Structures are given as C-alpha cells and as structure tokens.
C-alpha cells in the first residue's frame, strides 16, 4: 500500500487525509521525499542545456514539492499535538533536513547555473517577480556559504547541523520544564480568584491527575493567577517557577545550549565575511543594520521606562497601604496593577470575560475579513488531526481561496504560545494552488457544556494570528518561495498587528461582544472603559518587551558572550532595568531567538512592525475602519504580494511614505496625544 503521506490526496481541497496519517509512516515518507528532492536537484545541476530561468530557478521551486507536502502536514500537526514518537521524529529530522539544505547550497554546479543567470539577468526578459526570486535564491545560496571552499565549507555544514539540533533541544527542554511543574492549590488557596481562573485550575488539575486544582506554567493560567491571587507567597512561588523555565539545573537546563548557539552563530557569520551575527542577520531585513534597530529601541525605551517608573511608585504605595512590607517585586506587579486598573478604569477582567466568547470572537474576525476583503467562511465537515481543531472553507465570490483551520484550546501536547502556519502555501507555478492555513492558540478549555470565554488579550491574540492567516489566504504570487508570510522578519508582523486594530473598532465589539448567558451586548460604558484601558500599563509591557529585544540585539552584535547569563545581567544594568519588571523572555526560555534562527537578532521586529501597524491603521482612521478603497490598497500592495517586492517598497506603495515612531508612542499612551 502506498504511504498515505506520499499518496495523491484525493480529499476535498486536497487536504491531508488526517485520519490515515500514522506516525510510523512519517519517516519513510520523509526519506522518500528527500530522495525525490535529491534526484530533482541532480537533474537541474547536471542539465547539459544552458541555464534558463525555467530549467534552473523554476525547477528548484518545484524540486521539494513532495517534501513540502509531507513536512507541511507533519510539522503542522506535531506543533499542535505532539507525543513522544513525534518529538523523537522531530529530533531525528532536524539534522537530516539541515544536511539536505546544506547539500543543495553547497552544490557548486547548481550555484554556477544560478550565478550565470544572475550575471545575465538584464537580458533574460524576466518579470519583476522572477527577478526578485532569482535575487533571493542567489542571496540565500551565498548566505548559506555557496562561495565557501575546502575546510570553511565543511565547517559551515557542521555548524548548521549542530545549530539545528541545539534549537530543537532548546524547545524540547522548555516544553519539558513547562509540563513538569505545577503547584497544587487547596480550596483556601482559591480565595480571591475569579470563577474562570478557578475553573481553569480545576481542569488543569484533572489533566495533571492531581487531587485538586493546580496552577501550571501555561500562560493562560499563570498570568491570571498572578493577577488575581491575593496570596503573595503563592504568587512568588508561581512566578519564580515561571521565570526559572530552562534554568533549573535539571536535564532541561538551557543555559549551556544558549551559550553554544551564540558562539556558533558568530562563527558562522564570520565565515561568511560579516563582522558579527547581527550584521549578517539584518542584511535581509527592512531595518538593514544593528544601528537602525538600536536607535528604534532606545527611542522607545526612554519614555517606556519613565512611564513604568511612575507606575511602580503608585503600585508600591498601594502595596504599603495593603500592609505589605518590602519592595514591589515582579510577582506583585500584575496583582496591584490589576487592582489599580479596576480602581481607575473600573474594568474587572472577571466581569468582562463573559462578554468575550471564543465563538463570537471567531465570527468577529471572519466578519471583519468579509467587510474588508469580501471573504466568506463556511464550516467544513472534515476530520482534522485533533477533535478540538475546526476547519472552514474560505471563498470569495464563490471562488475557493483557502482552507482555514482554527485550533484554539490549550492541551499538554501543544507547545505554548500562539502561531499561524500553512500546511500548504499559495502558488501558481504548478496550477492554482490555494493554501491550507492553521491558527493555533492556547486558550483555556471550558468545562463541558460551558461556552469558551476569552480574556481581552486572548481575543487580541485571535485577531493577531488571523491577520497572519489573511496574509496567507489572500496571497497571489506565482512562486511558493515568496508566498504569503515569506517576507522579511521585521515586516511579517505588520498584517497580524494591524488586524488587531479591528478588534478595537467600537462597532465590532458592539456586535460581537455578547454575554455568554444572557446574550446581552456589552454595556456601552464597559466597552468605553475597555477601549480606554488599552493604553493601561503599557510602560510595563514595553519595558518587558524592549529589554528582551535589546538583550537579543546585544547578544548578536559583537563577540558572542562567554557567559550569556552574566552578559544579560550587564545589559539590563546598563539600560537601568526597573527592579519590579523582568524580561518578557529571559535567555533560558527565550524560544523566539534560541529554538531556531527565526527571531535571532530579530525580536525587535514586533516593535518595528508596530511602528508600521500604528501608522497603517491611521490611514483607515482618516476615512473609516472599513473603507473599501483603503482595504483594496492594503490587499493589492501588501496582503497579496508576499515577498515579491522589497518591504520598504510595499509599504510605501500602500501608504505613500515611510512611517515614524510617533504613532506608536501615541498608540501605547507613552506620549500624550495632541
Ligand atoms: Zn505574529
């Protein structure tokens, strides 16, 4: 029987036949796909005909069709629903895949063909998109070491393979530390916690096989616990466990892994002729240089720190009034900040929560996409990889645009955080291929028969990931390699962060924020308080984030630190990190920059994108949030374009100019709006 991973998928929309995909089939499928890929690459490199765009670049685009198909389905599932077998497979695949891609970029005959095309590019009569794909292909070969020879070349392959292994190890250690720890709560310990936190703690207790409710290190449980529990001792214990992920001196310790990763990255950059890893990494970004990044971060740091220090003084006073001796500590901030928010904005998360139902928020995200881009969403009755994951057929004017899968609830088998991934990307080279797009979140699962309720942050996460999904679903390019979210890292968060703004449009909340029990819409004054509260505590949030981004940048801009923990402490001391705030992601659990290369020297990019999203949404505010002309400009110049043009050119085409930092500072309430 044919391996179901490799067979032609005759399902509706050629979805992976999830029910037939067995873990034991994955490895043989990957091996077969790799051997197909190798044969295709060899045929391109050995082709006796002179290189053409079609027989070289387009052939390369097609070479990994089987591999993409198998890995798209497998990694899409494994990220959201892993087990020991899948963990082991991922550990085994990462060096295999890294070796395979090194083999391709180290193929001298192949690179020679690309180089020839590059030299002749002016005479090849290429479309703009083809020119761009040629430039990107050649650049990625050069950056992978295609021009290296001899010992340097071997060393580069070794470094890449070792980095891939270390990255996987880093995530698995982190997940293991997150899974292992929980804190049992007695009935007395539940005092002061709103019902939704109690429910989440009980359901987590059941999942852990504990006798009663527990707090786990899942962000959707620990964050509200830190916010609501009046028990300072329990908050401290939970916070310390949260902050110590990856740093417990057990088998999951990530500190030595982080050190080795930084050292290897520097060596890699130097082999390629760059001064350091940041210089290498930022070359392909919209920011271009470490100086531009540092400049942006420091312009935001100063007003953020001032705001956080003003807030810390107020919270310290509240704590003293509570009769607590000592300094405001990181495990106190969320608790007193929540109380202050209630006092100043009278916004009670617990009161708010029944109005934010998961299903209504999904509907809200869909409806905004319908009003802006004409997309329609029809539930699909298909078996996915997990009973909690739901699928929709996405159409426009009757034309199929994408399959969208939403997998929203937390579970032990899912890695933490929220993300968007495509099991298949849009492209037109091999027919009109439409994407399969996944949004995965970690919202607390409700008890049986209850409606799933979100915090406002959860709802924003839902809109954020859906913005990434739109970037995939509206993609309209020819080549897979530049499809959808295949753009510069500091540009990729623009569509997602921009989409969050539609959640803040009052008419959207008016329609979709309805009470789970009574069905009544959110009272007008609550809605106004909610929106006014959005700039609340932004000093804290910005300090948490910018400190992480600066540590990431300094780690990579210069020689690799011998002792990253010491270097981290020095960087924080230098910028004057407020005592009661910690980095959003400290080194031993900074998965963004250590689980892979994705955000290394690139964590700043969320803020870079925020500069743009604040500025871009202003374009809608100048007319109307659902202005069809502006929506079309957004789709035509950004959402449909993938990486087919330079990010700066795309943004300028949409907005007519580049943005400054002012709209962001205003949006975060860090400077007064005029
Ligand atoms: Zn994102």
Residues 395 and 9: their CA atoms lie apart, in Å, by 21
Q: How far is the CA of 500 from the centre of ligand 1 (A)?
A: 11
Q: How far is the CA of 312 from the centre of ligand 1 (A)?
A: 29
Residues 608 and 415: their CA atoms lie apart, in Å, by 26
Q: How far is the CA of 245 from the centre of ligand 1 (A)?
A: 22
pLDDT at residue 674 in the model: 44
pLDDT at residue 199 in the model: 95
Please name which of 617, 605, 372 lies closest in space to residue 498, comparing C-alpha atoms. Answer: 617
Residues 611 and 498: their CA atoms lie apart, in Å, by 10
Residues 670 and 497: their CA atoms lie apart, in Å, by 18
Q: How far is the CA of 493 from the centre of ligand 1 (A)?
A: 5
Q: How far is the CA of 464 from the centre of ligand 1 (A)?
A: 6
Residues 527 and 651: their CA atoms lie apart, in Å, by 32
pLDDT at residue 596 in the model: 87
**How many CB atoms lie under 10 A from the CB of residue 334?**
22
* Phi, psi values for residue 159, rounded to 5°: -60, -45
571, containing H or E segment: helix 564-575
Residues 10 and 401: their CA atoms lie apart, in Å, by 18
Q: How far is the CA of 63 from the centre of ligand 1 (A)?
A: 29
Q: Which residues of 104-113 are buried (b: 16+ CB within 10 A; e: fewer)?
A: bbbbeebbeb
Q: How far is the CA of 143 from the centre of ligand 1 (A)?
A: 25
Q: How far is the CA of 226 from the centre of ligand 1 (A)?
A: 24
243, containing H or E segment: helix 232-243
Q: Which residues of 176-207 are buried (b: 16+ CB within 10 A; e: fewer)?
A: bbbbebbbebeeebbeebbebbbbbbbbbbeb
Q: Which two tokens stand for residue 347?
A: 């916004």
Q: How far is the CA of 539 from the centre of ligand 1 (A)?
A: 21
CB-count burial class (<10 Å; 0-12, 13-18, 19+) for 536: middle
Q: How far is the CA of 436 from the centre of ligand 1 (A)?
A: 18
320, containing H or E segment: helix 290-321
pLDDT at residue 673 in the model: 46
Q: How far is the CA of 606 from the centre of ligand 1 (A)?
A: 8
pLDDT at residue 480 in the model: 97
Cα–chain-centroid distance for residue 391? 21
Q: How far is the CA of 621 from the centre of ligand 1 (A)?
A: 23
Please name which of 356, 308, 350 lies closest in space to residue 333, comparing C-alpha atoms. Answer: 308
If you write DSSP's letter for every residue of 171-217 in order, what string do you get? HHHHHHHHHH-EEE--TGGGTT--HHHHHHHHHHHHHHT-SS-EEES
Q: How far is the CA of 494 from the centre of ligand 1 (A)?
A: 8
Selecting among 465, 500, 554, 610, the annotated active-site residue is: 465
Q: Which two tokens stand for residue 75?
A: 């990694």
Residues 547 and 604: their CA atoms lie apart, in Å, by 10
pTM, full prediction: 0.82
Q: How far is the CA of 469 from the centre of ligand 1 (A)?
A: 10
Q: How far is the CA of 419 from the centre of ligand 1 (A)?
A: 7
pLDDT at residue 672 in the model: 57
Q: Which residues surround ligand 1, an ion (CB under 5 A)?
A: 493, 496
Whether the CB-CB separation of 298 and 577 falls below 8 Å is answered with no
* Paired residues of 453 in beta bridges: 357
Please name which of 532, 511, 531 lies closest in space to residue 522, comparing C-alpha atoms. Answer: 511
Q: For this structure, is 465 an active site residue?
A: yes
Q: Chunk the chain into consecutive blocks of 10 residues (it has 674) and report each block's average pLDDT, rounded to whole numbers.
A: 92 95 97 97 98 98 97 96 95 92 92 97 97 97 89 90 94 93 96 93 94 93 96 97 96 97 97 95 92 91 94 96 94 95 82 94 98 98 96 98 98 92 97 97 92 94 98 98 95 95 95 96 91 88 96 97 98 97 96 91 91 92 95 98 95 90 86 57
pLDDT at residue 342 in the model: 85
Residues 233 and 244: their CA atoms lie apart, in Å, by 16
Q: What is the pLDDT of residues 25-43, one digit of tens each?
A: 999 999 999 999 999 999 9
Cα–chain-centroid distance for residue 356? 23
pLDDT at residue 330 in the model: 97
Q: How far is the CA of 270 from the centre of ligand 1 (A)?
A: 30
Long-range CB contacts for residues 14-21, cutoff 8 Å, separation at least 24: 14/424, 15/382, 15/391, 15/403, 15/436, 16/72, 16/73, 16/423, 16/436, 18/77, 18/382, 18/383, 18/384, 18/385, 19/383, 21/73, 21/74, 21/77, 21/385
Q: How far is the CA of 90 from the centre of ligand 1 (A)?
A: 23
**How many CB atoms lie under 10 A from the CB of residue 351?**
13
Q: How far is the CA of 468 from the centre of ligand 1 (A)?
A: 7
């Amino acid at each position: 029987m044919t391996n179901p991973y490799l067979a032609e998928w005759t399902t509706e929309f050629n979805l992976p036949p999830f029910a037939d995909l067995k873990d034991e089939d994955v490895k043989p499928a990957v091996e077969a796909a790799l051997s197909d890929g190798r044969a295709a690459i060899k045929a391109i490199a050995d082709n006796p005909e002179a290189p053409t765009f079609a027989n070289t670049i387009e052939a390369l685009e097609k070479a990994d069709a089987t591999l993409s198909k198998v890995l798209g389905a497998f990694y899409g599932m494994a990220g959201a629903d892993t087990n020991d077998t899948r963990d082991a497979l991922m550990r085994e695949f990462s060096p295999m895949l890294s070796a395979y891609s090194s083999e391709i970029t180290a193929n001298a005959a192949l690179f020679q063909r690309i180089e020839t095309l590059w030299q002749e590019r002016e005479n090849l009569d290429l479309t703009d998109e083809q020119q761009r794909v040629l430039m990107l292909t050649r650049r990625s070969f050069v950056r992978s070491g295609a021009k290296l020879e001899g010992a340097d070349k071997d060393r580069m392959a070794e470094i890449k393979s070792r980095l891939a292994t270390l990255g996987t190890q880093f995530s698995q250690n982190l997940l293991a530390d997150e899974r292992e720890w929980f804190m049992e709560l007695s009935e007395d310990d539940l005092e002061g916690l709103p019902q939704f936190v109690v429910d989440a703690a009980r359901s987590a207790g059941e999942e852990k096989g504990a006798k009663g409710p527990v707090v786990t290190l899942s962000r959707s449980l620990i964050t509200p616990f830190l916010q609501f529990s009046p028990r300072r001792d329990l908050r401290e214990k939970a916070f310390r466990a949260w902050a110590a992920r990856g740093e417990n001196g057990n088998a999951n310790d990530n500190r030595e892994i982080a050190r080795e990763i930084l050292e290897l990255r520097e060596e890699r950059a130097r082999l390629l002729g760059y001064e350091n890893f940041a210089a290498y990494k930022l070359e392909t970004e919209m920011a271009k240089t470490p100086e531009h990044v540092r400049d942006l971060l420091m312009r935001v740091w100063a007003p953020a720190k001032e705001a956080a220090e003003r807030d810390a003084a107020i919270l310290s006073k509240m704590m003293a009034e509570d009769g607590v001796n000592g300094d405001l500590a990181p495990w106190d901030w969320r608790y007193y900040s929540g109380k202050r928010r209630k006092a100043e904005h009278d916004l009670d998360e617990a009161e708010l929560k029944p109005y934010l139902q998961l299903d209504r928020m999904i509907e809200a995200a869909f409806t905004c996409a319908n009003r802006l881009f004409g997309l329609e969403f029809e539930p699909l009755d298909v078996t996915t990889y997990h009973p909690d994951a739901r699928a929709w057929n996405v159409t426009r004017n009757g034309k199929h645009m994408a399959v969208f899968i939403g997998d929203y609830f937390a579970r032990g088998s899912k890695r933490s955080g929220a993300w968007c991934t495509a099991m298949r990307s849009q492209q037109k080279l091999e027919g009109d291929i439409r994407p399969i797009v996944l949004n995965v979140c970690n919202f607390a699962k409700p008890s049986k028969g209850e409606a799933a309720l979100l915090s406002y942050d959860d709802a924003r996460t839902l809109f954020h990931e859906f913005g990434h999904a739109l970037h995939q679903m509206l993609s309209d390019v020819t080549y897979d390699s530049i499809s959808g979210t295949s753009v510069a890292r500091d540009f990729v968060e623009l569509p997602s962060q921009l989409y969050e703004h539609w959640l803040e449009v009052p008419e959207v909340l008016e329609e979709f924020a309805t009470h789970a029990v009574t069905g009544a819409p959110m009272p007008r004054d609550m809605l106004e308080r909610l929106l006014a509260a959005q700039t609340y505590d932004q000093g804290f949030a910005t300090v948490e984030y910018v400190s992480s981004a600066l540590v990431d940048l300094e780690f990579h801009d210069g020689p690799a630190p011998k002792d990253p923990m010491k270097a981290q402490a020095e960087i924080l001391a230098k910028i004057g990190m407020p005592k009661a705030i910690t980095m959003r992601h400290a080194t031993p659990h900074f998965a963004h920059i250590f689980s892979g290369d994705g955000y290394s020297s690139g964590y700043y990019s969320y803020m870079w994108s925020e500069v743009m999203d604040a500025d871009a949404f202003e374009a809608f505010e100048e007319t109307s949030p659902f202005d069809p002309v502006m929506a079309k400009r957004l789709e035509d110049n950004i959402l449909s374009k993938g990486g087919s043009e330079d990010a700066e050119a795309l943004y300028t085409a949409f907005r007519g100019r580049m943005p400054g930092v002012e709209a962001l500072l205003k949006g975060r309430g860090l400077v007064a709006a005029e």
